[in-house]
Amino acid sequence: MQKEHLPIYQIQDFNALAQKEQYFYFSSFAAHLQEHLFIREPHKHSFYIILFVTRGTGSHTIDFREYTVRPGSVFFMTPGQVHSWTLSPDADGFVIFFTPDFYAKEYPHRKLFDFPFFNALLNKPLLTLSEDEEAALTVSIRLLEQEYRQQMPMQDTMLSRLLDVLLIKLTRMFLSREAETEIPGSEHALLQNLERLIDRHYKEHAPVGFYTDQLNVTAKHLNAACRRSLGKTTIELVQYRTLLEAKRLLVHADLTISQIAAELGYFDNTYFFRFFKKLTGLTPEQFRAAHK
C-alpha cells in the first residue's frame, strides 16, 4: 500500500540544531512562520499545540473546518490533526509545542485529554479572549518564554509546571464560555471515554454494544447522553470519525479509493461509496477532485 504523503512533523523538525528527540518548543509566531516556510502547506504534527495570536488576521483550517484568525485567538491542536492557514503578513503571537510524554513526566496521573480544548469531539479548538484575558495569558506565556530561553538546572521540571499553570488558566477561560451549556461532570467523563474508544476502534465498525460494554452503560443511556450533549447518536459519532479519516486520506494520501476503503475497514467498495455519499452528498472521487 502506498504511504500517506502528508508530512507529519516532530518537534525536532523545527530545530535545525537538534541532535536528539525534542519534547518542548516555544517561539514567537512571526519568527516561527518566517523560519519554517514548509508549514504553509497542510500538514500534521505528532505533538500538542497552543497558538496564541496577538496580531494579524486570516483563517485557520483544522480538519476541514475553517476558523477566523484575529488578535486574541487561541487555537488548540492535538496529534494527528491536519491544519493549514492563510494569514496577513503582520501575523504574530506565540506558539508552544509539547509532547504527551513531556507533560506526563511531571504529571503521570493526569491526562491532557482532560483539558476541554483538547477534546475534538466535544469542543471547538478555538478560544477568543477579552483584553483582560489576553493580558493575563501573556504574563504566563512570558514566564514560559523566559524559562525556555535560559539554560538552568531542572529546566524541564520548571517548564512542565509553568505549562500546567498555563493550561489551567486556559481551562478556566474556556469553561467560563461554557457555563450556560456546560455538560454535567459525569456525562462529560462518559463522553470523553467514548471519544477515546471511538478513536481507537472506529475502523472495526463495532456495534453500539461494544461501546456500551466497554463503558458499562446501557445503549439507551449512552445514546441519550450523546444526543443531549452533542446532538448525535453513538453510531453517528463513530461515522463522523470514520468520515473525517476518509476525508484526510482522500485529500492528503496517495492512495486509490479501494485502498482507502480497505484502510477504513470497508473491504467492499460499494459499502464505502454508499457511506461516503450518504454523509457528504459526493462520491469519494468527487470529494477528492474538489479539494485538489
**pLDDT tens, position by position, 64-81:** 999 999 999 999 999 989
The answer to whether 27 touches 51, Cβ cutoff 8 Å, is: no
2 within a domain of the structure (yes/no): no
The answer to whether 284 touches 272, Cβ cutoff 8 Å, is: yes
Q: What confidence score (pLDDT) does residue 19 get? A: 45
**What is the mean pLDDT of the segment spanning 213-242?**
95
Range in 14-18, 25-29, 58-62, 214-218 the model is least confident about: 14-18
Pair (222, 124) in one structural domain: no
Given 127, 157, 177, the domain boundary residue is 177
Confidence tier at 1 by pLDDT (50, 70, 90) = very low
Confidence tier at 110 by pLDDT (50, 70, 90) = confident
Residue with cell 513531556: 102
The answer to whether 240 touches 226, Cβ cutoff 8 Å, is: no
What rounded mean pLDDT belongs to the chain? 90
Please write the tens of the pLDDT for every residue from 196-225. Answer: 999 999 999 999 999 999 999 999 999 999
Q: What confidence score (pLDDT) does residue 180 get? A: 45
For residue 266, give the CATH number of its domain.
1.10.10.60
- Grid cell listed for 243: 468520515
Residue 259 pLDDT exceeds 80? yes
Q: What confidence score (pLDDT) does residue 5 get? A: 64
**What is the mean pLDDT of the segment spanning 35-51?**
87
The answer to whether 292 touches 5, Cβ cutoff 8 Å, is: no
Q: What confidence score (pLDDT) does residue 291 get? A: 85
Pair (153, 172) in one structural domain: yes
Pair (89, 208) in one structural domain: no
Residue 22 pLDDT exceeds 90? no
Q: How far apart are CA 3 and CA 98, in angstroms?
A: 26
Range in 28-42, 187-201, 206-220 the model is least confident about: 28-42
Given 149, 177, 205, the domain boundary residue is 177
- Percent of the chain residues topping a pLDDT of 70: 93
Tell me the whole-structure pTM to 2 decimals.
0.85
C-alpha 251: how far from chain center:
18
Q: What confidence score (pLDDT) does residue 202 get? A: 95
Pair (158, 285) in one structural domain: no
**What is the mean pLDDT of the segment spanning 133-158?**
95
Given 148, 177, 206, the domain boundary residue is 177
Pair (85, 106) in one structural domain: yes
Number of domains in the chain: 2
Q: How many CB atoms lie within 10 A of CB 211?
A: 21
User: DSSP E strands: which ranges in the chain?
Assistant: 8-9, 24-28, 44-45, 48-55, 58-62, 65-69, 73-77, 83-87, 92-98, 126-128
Closest CA to 82 of 48, 133, 43: 43
Pair (162, 199) in one structural domain: no
What letter represents residue 272's amino acid? F
Pair (91, 165) in one structural domain: yes
Q: What confidence score (pLDDT) does residue 122 get? A: 78
Pair (28, 163) in one structural domain: yes
Pair (158, 269) in one structural domain: no
Closest CA to 47 of 9, 20, 94, 21: 9
Residue with cell 492528503: 252
- Grid cell listed for 267: 473491504
3 within a domain of the structure (yes/no): no
Q: How far apart are CA 27 and CA 174, in angstroms?
A: 23
Provide the domain limits for residue 36: 8-177
Confidence tier at 292 by pLDDT (50, 70, 90) = confident
221 within a domain of the structure (yes/no): yes
Pair (168, 214) in one structural domain: no
- Grid cell listed for 97: 509545542
**Of 178 and 264, the one with more pLDDT:** 264
For residue 90, give the CATH number of its domain.
2.60.120.280
The answer for residues whose C-beta is within 8 angstroms of residue 28's C-beta and 6 or more apart is 92, 93, 94, 95
